[in-house]
A and B are shown apart, each in its own frame.
Chain A
Amino acid sequence: MTKQTSERPNGPVAAAMLAGGIGAAVLGVATLLVEIVGDAVKKPLTWNKAVGALSGKSGLGIIAFLVSWAVLYFILKDKETKFEQMAAIALAGLGIGLLFTFPPFWHLLAGG
């Protein structure tokens, strides 16, 4: 018997949401580290010379998004999660990504 769409577990959706938050957070953290630490982080993240460190920062974010989605999907695909909690965590991750990529925040942390 085919499962009705409304009976499907929300695990896969939770995985997608969490992955989005993780990807954004990793992008944000990588960006902040480059700004605060400088060349020690910037040079290893210059994966493409023409693009500069943005290539590594965004690359890490995208890799984190895709890998975490795959892993979390495998873990959660048949599970029912606390949807609001998962969504809140995803929102927090997006929030970190947005905040840590905001230039005045870098200057605030750098004391400038």
Chain B
Amino acid sequence: MNAHELWTVVHGMGFGFLFLLGFTGALYGIYVMKPEWMTTEGANANVRNIQIFLWVLTAATWLAVFSGAYIVYPWYRATPPEGTVDLTMFPKFHLLANENTAFWHEFGMEWKEHIAFVVQFAATMVAYMAQYYGAALTKKPEVRRYVMIFFAIAFAAAGVAGVLGAFITKAAAVH
């Protein structure tokens, strides 16, 4: 695996996967913060772990997006020299050269590269809200509801970016 391929793995399977995998646990941790389910001691013990977990997941989204946009994406969209026949090393142009695969750039990458940035805004909102209220989230069902809504939006957007990234890599990997 060369450096380009390694960074592609770090971006998607490292940072991106960390967020997608960690989402369910963090969401459940917020969901169970109901006063009828938790003692004060339980809420205080639980919330610290949730806060740390959410900030780690938020950091993962920022790292995923920036490693994608500023490290992997330039390699993806690099322009081949005039007269290049084998476009394998130029994924964007490799996809566009064939009408059967052009969709993966014109829809797939165009959507993926933009929707990913919404993830970090939503995730940061969630982490801050949990940080600010802490154990008081048990007494704020309306805040908890919106924390979960924003978090679900972040997850859905990240899921779109992740799935499209997987398919694009399958069709035209960065080498």
Residue numbers of A with Cβ under 8 A of B are 4-6, 8, 10, 12-13, 16-17, 19-21, 23-24, 27, 31, 48, 50-52, 54-55, 57-58, 61-62, 65, 83-84, 87, 90-91, 94, 97-98, 101-104
The answer to whether B124 and A20 touch across the interface, beta carbons within 8 angstroms, is: yes
With a CB–CB cut-off of 8 A, which chain B residues contact A83? 142-143, 146
The answer to whether A23 and B70 touch across the interface, beta carbons within 8 angstroms, is: no
With a CB–CB cut-off of 8 A, which chain A residues contact B114? 27, 31, 54, 57-58, 101
Q: Report if B102 contacts A (CB, 8 A).
A: no
17 intermolecular pairs with C-beta atoms under 8 Å apart: A6-B140, A8-B133, A12-B132, A21-B121, A27-B117, A27-B118, A31-B114, A48-B70, A50-B74, A55-B69, A58-B65, A58-B114, A61-B117, A62-B117, A97-B118, A98-B153, A101-B114
A50 to chain B: closest CB distance in Å? 4
With a CB–CB cut-off of 8 A, which chain A residues contact B149? 87, 91
Stretch at the interface among B6-14, B22-30, B103-111: B103-111
Query: Complex Cα distance A83/B106, Å?
Result: 39
With a CB–CB cut-off of 8 A, which chain A residues contact B69? 51, 54-55, 58
Among A8, A16, A103, the residue within 8 A (CB) of B111 is A103
The answer to whether A52 and B118 touch across the interface, beta carbons within 8 angstroms, is: no
A7 to chain B: closest CB distance in Å? 9
B4 to chain A: closest CB distance in Å? 13
Other A-B contacts than A16-B125, A20-B121, A57-B114, 13 sampled, CB-CB below 8 A, are A8-B133, A13-B128, A13-B129, A13-B132, A17-B125, A17-B146, A17-B150, A20-B122, A83-B143, A87-B146, A98-B153, A98-B157, A101-B118
With a CB–CB cut-off of 8 A, which chain B residues contact A4? 136
Q: Report if B20 contacts A (CB, 8 A).
A: no
B85 to chain A: closest CB distance in Å? 24
B31 to chain A: closest CB distance in Å? 17
Q: Kindly identify, within residues 1 to 60 of chain B, every residue whose CB is under 8 Å from any CB belonging to chain A.
A: none
The answer to whether B121 and A24 touch across the interface, beta carbons within 8 angstroms, is: yes
Query: Complex Cα distance A4/B98, Å?
Result: 63
With a CB–CB cut-off of 8 A, which chain B residues contact A97? 117-118, 121
Q: Kindly identify, within residues 118 to 166 of chain B, every residue whose CB is under 8 Å from any CB belonging to chain A.
A: 118, 121-122, 124-125, 128-129, 132-136, 139-140, 142-143, 146, 149-150, 153, 157
